[in-house]
Structure 1
Amino acid sequence: MTDITRVDVGDGTLFVEARRLGPDSELEGLGGRLPDLSAVTEALSSFAGQIGDALHRAAPDRASVEFGCQLGLDAGKLTALVVQGSAHASLRVTLEWTKTPH
């Protein structure tokens, strides 16, 4: 089941479609506060860092990684769900690295 949820993005709000991940995934218990994207962006940053580390070890001259990310609600918090990179993803993320000549 999905919900359209208002999300705090710092300078304003936006509406996102988020999938409920369990019975406790309601927005209750937030004390009127809106969920924010910080957990999602932190998860994506960590994911990108781990991919970047692996690519650094593999040492290609250039690399590109694309993946899809959908949003889920779990215990009233937004979470990132990594999915196939397709037109159906809520967010499509492309990461690129270029090897710097020494």
Structure 2
Amino acid sequence: MPYTPDFVPEALTRADVDATRGPLVLEFGTPWCGWCSGAQPHVRAAFEQAGAEVPHVKVEDGPGRPLGRSFKVKLWPTLVFLRDGVEVERLVRPPNTTAISEALQRLS
């Protein structure tokens, strides 16, 4: 699964995420968030450079959204890198493509 362009309302539960096998990147944010929009060229480029089939799920976050709260997301965008349902790395407001690419390499 390559880069996912759109944030979607929560489709996964924490139990779904915890049961996921292999790598997974959750990106928490919203379509109207300026920080999220600004990070998208970096996120897209990193996934394109990685060439790996790491699933990327963009989760529309906000108050009362249980998945984001379960990961204690406070700022957007927040990228949570998981392996077998366990968080191995987190980037909050990633500054550039390199930071995301390096995290993807460590995850793969």
Please state which structure has a larger fraction of its residues in strand: 1
Determine if the TM-score, normalized by the shorter chain, exceeds 0.5.
no
TM range (shorter): under 0.3
TM-score by length of 1: 0.26
Looking at CA atoms only, which structure, 1 or 2, has the larger radius of gyration?
1
